């Protein structure tokens, strides 16, 4: 079984890649800037393939997916995990920042879904798991562009689930809780404090626990077009 985890050089993506590796999958470790970290992740996996691409660039994404097919002949699981965020009030958000957020978080996932589902439809099986956020469901002050991108990703998930079901391809979304990855750590102290206060369990989410859930979801059959909320903040 082959899985492709976007943004697996660090943070949640690296935890997902290692978790799939432990389950015996062949794992594509994808990075953009952090090749050294991605190499470290790949070294923890028995059969890995290290490939770089900017998710915004459809040519680079298609070339990456074609390379996976050339090497391993199939893609069973695609996890669209690569993402970015930037805190900024609506009135202060530049058009450039808004566009960048949408390009990475929505168009980047679209690029991978389109490229991989070409092969998944031929295989007549596959599972695409998109990493969204609770912000995409309920919005968050200071994160309107991020919330818009993560809500857009949910729309993409539902539509792709409807279109691809006839090919036995499942498409689901996961909302991890607030994790102290680079993304979580680099957010403002106020954002971290708020997330902790709103968490009923009064703790941050663990990337390893989220990764474990994603591995189980990938192997579940008969579930598509759903949102799995792993956050302990009530909607
Ligand atoms: N952290 C949280 O609390 C939290 C909560 C809810 C949802 N999420 C979502 O979970 C996912 C993972 O988040 P994280 O916290 O692990 O983030 P992170 O630590 O900041 O890691 C981001 C990853 O995305 C990759 N990436 C960023 N821009 C890219 C681009 N243009 N092209 C290709 N790859 C790109 C990075 O690659 P390089 O390092 O190689 O550049 C890196 O591997 C994201 O989708 C995020 O929105 C996170």
pLDDT in tens, 18-38: 999 999 999 999 999 999 999
Which one of 41, 82, 229 would you pick to mutate in the ligand 1 pocket, going by the greatest count of ligand atoms within 8 A of its CB?
Answer: 82
Helices and strands, number each (H, E), in the chain: 10, 7
pTM over the 0.95 mark? yes
Tell me which residue has its CA closest to atom 5 in ligand 1. Answer: 178
Instruction: Please give the distance, rounded to the nearest whole angstrom, from the Cα atom of residue 35 to the centre of ligand 1.
Output: 14
Ramachandran region of residue 96, left (φ > 0), alpha (ψ -120 to 50) or beta? Answer: alpha
Rg over alpha carbons for the chain, rounded to the nearest Å, is: 17
Q: What are the chain's domains?
A: 2-229 (3.40.50.720)
CA of residue 178 relative to chain centroid, distance? 14
Structure-token pair, residue 177: 């809780």
134-188 confidence digits (pLDDT tens) = 999 999 999 999 999 999 999 999 999 999 999 999 999 999 999 999 999 999 9
Q: Is 146 a catalytic residue?
A: yes
Residue ranges lining ligand 1, Cβ < 6 Å: 7, 9-13, 31-34, 54-56, 81-85, 104, 131, 133, 176, 178-179, 181-184
């Amino acid at each position: 079984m082959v899985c492709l985890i976007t943004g697996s050089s660090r943070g949640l993506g690296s935890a997902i890649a290692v978790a799939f590796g432990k389950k015996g999958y062949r794992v594509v470790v994808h990075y953009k800037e952090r090749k050294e970290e991605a190499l470290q992740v790949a070294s923890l996996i028995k059969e890995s393939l290290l490939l770089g691409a900017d998710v915004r660039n459809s040519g680079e994404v298609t070339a990456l997916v074609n390379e996976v097919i050339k090497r391993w002949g199939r893609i069973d699981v695609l996890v669209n995990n690569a993402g970015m965020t930037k805190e900024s009030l609506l009135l202060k958000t530049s058009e450039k920042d808004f566009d960048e957020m949408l390009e990475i978080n929505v168009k980047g996932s679209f690029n991978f879904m389109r490229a991989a589902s070409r092969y998944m439809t031929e295989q007549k099986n596959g599972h695409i798991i998109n990493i969204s956020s609770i912000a995409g469901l309920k919005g968050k002050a200071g994160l309107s562009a991020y919330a818009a991108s993560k809500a857009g990703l949910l729309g993409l998930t539902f539509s792709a689930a409807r279109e691809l079901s006839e090919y036995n391809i499942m498409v689901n979304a996961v909302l991890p809780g607030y994790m102290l990855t680079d993304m979580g750590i680099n957010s403002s102290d106020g954002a971290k404090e708020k997330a902790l206060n709103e968490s009923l369990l009064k703790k941050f989410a663990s990337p390893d626990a989220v990764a474990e859930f994603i591995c189980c979801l990938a192997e579940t059959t008969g579930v598509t077009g759903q949102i799995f909320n792993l956050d302990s903040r009530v909607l």
